[in-house]
Chains A and B, each alone.
Chain A
C-alpha cells in the first residue's frame, strides 16, 4: 500500500465501519502510531456524522464524501470533501466542557474533539465542495 489512500463514499453512516478498517490497514502499512490511527477514525466518525446529519445538499445532487489520507514529511494529512452546501466547521462552537452535568450537552462536542486531535485544521469552499484539511504531526515538535 502506498503512502496515500483515496476513498469516495456515499454520505451514509453505514460506511463508517468499512472505512475504519481501511484506515487501520493504511496505518499498519505506513507504520503509523496507534493514537494517530485512532485520531483519524475519530475525526472521520465525527465529521461524517455531522455531514450526514446536518449537511444540506442541493436537490438532485448525490451526497458524496471524498477522503484522502497522506503521509509525507512526518505529517499525516486527512482531507475530507463533500458536495453539500458551504459549511465551515472550524468556526468556534465552544461546547461547555466544564459545567455541572445538568448544563452539559453533547452538541458541538464532536467538533471540539476533532479540533483537539488534529495539530492543524483548515477549511475552504472550492469547486463547489467543502474541503476540510486536518494535519497531524507525527514527530513531537
Chain B
C-alpha cells in the first residue's frame, strides 16, 4: 500500500512530511522513500510529523533503519511536530532517548544543522 509523502528542501536539509498513517501496510513504502533519499546522498533529514495521524511499531522500524544508515555517512535525522499520541509511541518505545525529537520545524532545523552532535 502506498503512502503520500510531501518533500521540501531547506538548503541541504531534506524535510519529509508523511501524510495520514504509517502502519504495517505502508511502512515498507515509507522505508523505500526514506532509504532512496539516503542512498541517493541526502545527509540531513527531517521527518516532520505534522500531517501524520497514526504510527505503529512498523513505522518505528523505519526510523531505526534511517538512523543506522545515516550514522554510516555521518548524516543526521531529526523528527519534529509530533501529535501527542505519536510522541507517546516514541516515548514508550524508548526511542525518544536515541533519536532527536523537536517540537517545531525551526527547532529541528537548528538541531539537524547545528554544531553539536545530534545523534548519541
CA distance A17 to B1 in the complex (A): 10
Q: How many residues of B are in contact with the other chain, CB < 8 A?
A: 27
Q: Is A67 an interface residue (CB 8 A)?
A: no
Which stretch, A37-45, A77-85, A119-127, touches the partner chain B? A37-45
Number of A residues with CB within 8 Å of any CB on chain B:
29
* A16 in contact (CB, < 8 A): yes
- Contact mask B52-72 → A, CB, 8 Å, 1/0? 001011101100100110010
Task: Encode contact with A along B80-98: 1 for CB under 8 Å, 0 otherwise.
Answer: 0000110011001111011
B25 in the interface (beta carbon within 8 A):
yes
Q: Is B120 an interface residue (CB 8 A)?
A: yes
- The answer to whether the Cβ of B24 comes within 8 Å of any Cβ in the partner chain is yes
CB–CB B24/A45 < 8 A: yes
A42-B89, A109-B60 in contact; A100/B120 too (CB < 8 A)?
yes
A101 lies within 8 A of B120 (CB): yes
Residue of B nearest to A52 (CB): B24
Nearest residue (CB) in A for B26 is: A17
Judged by a CB distance under 8 angstroms, whether A106 is at the interface is yes
Which residues of the other chain, A, contact B93 by a CB distance below 8 angstroms?
Answer: 97, 109, 112-113
Check if A63 is an interface residue, CB within 8 A of chain B: no
Do A101 and B58 touch across chains, with their CB atoms under 8 A apart?
no
A112 vs B89: C-alpha distance when bound (angstroms): 10
Q: Is A104 an interface residue (CB 8 A)?
A: yes
Residue B42 at the A interface, CB < 8 A? no
**Chain B residues within an 8 Å CB radius of A97:** 92-94
A14 touches B1 (CB 8 A): yes
- Quick check: A45 and B61 within 8 Å, CB to CB? no
Q: Is the CB of B98 within 8 A of A34?
A: no
A47 to B: closest C-beta gap in Å: 10
Q: Which 7 A-B pairs have the closest CB atoms?
A: A97-B94, A45-B56, A110-B57, A106-B61, A49-B24, A38-B85, A109-B57
The interface of chain A, by Cβ under 8 A from chain B, is: 13-14, 16-17, 20, 34-35, 38-39, 41-42, 45-46, 48-49, 96-98, 100-102, 104, 106, 109-110, 112-113, 116-117
